[in-house]
């Protein structure tokens, strides 16, 4: 492999995180190769770019039921008609600069963690253009109809069930590989929990809860308060790139024998997961794949209808998670788990059994053989 192009779209962090995991693995596997990761939307106009990202974020954050309805309503093979022709015309105009970039880069292969790339290239590939090997890496424990892109050469999926569902939609089984969801190498290394806690300034004899729930400042405050009330716990509350959420966590009254550390964006999430007993948060595909790789039991908090709910269903079936709705439910589930060490051990074992920490390497190995 001399020139590998990795594509993502920042509609949610998961697509980018999986692309970064593939980029890291590719640079390690092929140190002399040109490995480039780009966001497709960087080549589009600001109106299209902001509209594409913000429409998704606004719905999942403020109208999750609407997002769930649209997710389910669109989960079928698209029909050829006037609407599709309009979309193709718009894509032809909006993505012209992106197509020129790919043509000039001359990749030996393309890996995309979002279906948009295959959608953009589809009409041209049908006419014999852009014939580089194109593979889609599906970033959830679910496969929506938008991922059914017949002009893609290969599909990498999280589970055997998803491979069966692709086959049902007409994708030949020889084009589908069950690899798991790629995670960065930091999540694949076994770590000593006591050592990680000491390094982070945490007490070794007290449960550690990694809290990453979303929602309004009021709901974040309430959830954090309920988590602290579940017992003598140490809470690592991660707000990401959301200063309002971090301020909300900082405003929480902390009981005397518990602690809460309000964090913003964290680069080394693997260390926090290694130090934690339980994760409380959303069920995004990449984050939950990281939890599985670290053997971290999960309490899925208010999963968003659509891919998050379907990810949660998979985690429940695997025995690696429980589901909670609302702060009171989170507190109840957390107290139950912390009072039952045997069940926590079972969930940790189930998580490790379902994990695919070698997913990124598997993707690249298969890609190399097929190219």
Residue 68: CATH number of its domain? 3.40.50.2000
Q: How far apart are CA 256 and CA 200, in angstroms?
A: 20
DSSP string for 123-173: HHHHTT-S-S-EEEE--SSS--GGG--TT-SEEEESSHHHHHHHHHTT--G
**pLDDT value for 231:** 83
Query: Which residues, at least 6 apart from 179, have a Cβ–Cβ distance to it below 8 Å?
Result: 156, 157, 158, 356, 359, 362, 363, 366
Indicate if 326 and 365 belong to the same structural domain: no
Indicate if 26 and 115 belong to the same structural domain: yes
Indicate if 147 and 211 belong to the same structural domain: no
Indicate if 165 and 196 belong to the same structural domain: no
Indicate if 190 and 263 belong to the same structural domain: yes
Confidence class for position 89, pLDDT limits 50, 70, 90:
low
Indicate if 144 and 248 belong to the same structural domain: no
- In 3-state terms, the chain is what percent helix, strand and coil (to 5)? 50, 15, 35
Q: How far apart are CA 368 and CA 162, in angstroms?
A: 22
pLDDT at 68 over 60: yes
Angle between helices 46-62 and 64-73 (to 10 degrees): 110
Confidence class for position 81, pLDDT limits 50, 70, 90:
very low
Between strands 34-39 and 3-8, the pairing is: parallel
Indicate if 130 and 201 belong to the same structural domain: no
Q: How far apart are CA 245 and CA 222, in angstroms?
A: 12
Indicate if 343 and 364 belong to the same structural domain: no
Average per-residue pLDDT in the chain?
Answer: 90
Indicate if 61 and 121 belong to the same structural domain: yes
Task: Tell me the residue range of the domain where 229 lies.
Answer: 186-354
**pLDDT value for 86:** 41
**pLDDT value for 83:** 43
Indicate if 19 and 121 belong to the same structural domain: yes
Placement of tokens 């496969």 in the chain = 143
Q: How many helices (H) and strands (E) does the chain have?
A: 16, 12
Confidence class for position 268, pLDDT limits 50, 70, 90:
very high
pLDDT at 80 over 60: no
If one compares 243 and 321, the residue with the highest pLDDT of the two is 321
Distances (CA, A) of 50 to 12, 40, 343: 13, 13, 44
Answer for the pair 4, 33: CB distance below 8 angstroms, yes or no.
yes
Confidence class for position 82, pLDDT limits 50, 70, 90:
very low
Distance in Å from the first CA to the final CA of the chain: 8
Summarised one tens digit per residue, pLDDT across range 111-163 is: 999 999 998 999 899 988 888 999 999 999 999 999 999 999 999 999 999 99
Residues in the chain: 371
Placement of tokens 């680069």 in the chain = 267
Exposed, middle or buried: residue 208 (CB in 10 Å: 0-12, 13-18, 19+)? buried
How many domains are contained in the chain?
Answer: 2
**pLDDT value for 31:** 95
**pLDDT value for 150:** 93
Indicate if 137 and 273 belong to the same structural domain: no
Indicate if 72 and 119 belong to the same structural domain: yes
């Amino acid at each position: 492999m001399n020139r590998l192009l990795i594509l993502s779209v920042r509609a949610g962090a998961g697509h980018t995180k999986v692309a970064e995991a593939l980029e890291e693995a590719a640079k390690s596997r092929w140190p002399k190769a040109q490995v480039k990761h780009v966001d497709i939307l960087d080549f589009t106009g600001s109106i299209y770019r902001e509209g594409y990202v913000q429409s998704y974020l606004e719905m999942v954050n403020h109208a999750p039921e609407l997002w769930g309805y649209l997710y389910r309503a669109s989960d079928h093979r698209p029909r050829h008609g006037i609407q599709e022709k309009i979309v193709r015309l718009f894509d032809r105009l909006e993505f012209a600069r992106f197509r020129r970039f790919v043509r000039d880069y001359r990749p030996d292969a393309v890996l995309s963690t979002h279906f948009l790339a295959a959608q953009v290239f589809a009409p041209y590939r049908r006419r014999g253009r852009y014939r580089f090997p194109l593979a889609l890496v599906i970033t959830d424990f679910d496969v929506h109809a938008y991922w059914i892109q017949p002009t893609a050469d290969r599909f990498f999926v999280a589970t055997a069930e998803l491979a069966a569902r692709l086959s049902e939609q007409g994708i030949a089984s020889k084009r589908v590989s069950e690899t798991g969801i790629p995670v960065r190498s930091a999540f694949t290394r076994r770590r000593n929990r006591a050592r990680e806690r000491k390094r982070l300034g945490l007490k070794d004899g007290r449960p550690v809860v990694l809290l990453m729930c979303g929602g309004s400042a009021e709901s974040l405050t309430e959830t954090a308060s309920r988590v602290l009330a579940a017992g003598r716990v140490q809470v690592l509350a991660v707000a990401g790139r959301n200063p309002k959420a971090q301020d909300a966590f900082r405003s929480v009254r902390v009981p005397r024998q518990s602690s809460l550390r309000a964090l913003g964006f964290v680069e080394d999430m693997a260390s926090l997961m290694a130090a934690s007993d339980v994760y409380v948060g959303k069920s995004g595909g990449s984050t939950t794949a990281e939890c599985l790789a670290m053997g971290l039991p999960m309490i899925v908090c208010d999963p968003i209808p659509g891919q998050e709910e379907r990810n949660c269903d998979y985690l429940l079936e695997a025995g690696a998670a429980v589901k909670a709705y609302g702060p009171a439910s989170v507190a109840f589930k957390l107290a139950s788990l912390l009072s039952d060490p045997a069940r926590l051990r079972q969930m940790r074992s189930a998580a490790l059994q379902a994990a695919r920490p070698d997913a990124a390497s598997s993707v690249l190995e298969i890609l190399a053989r097929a190219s």
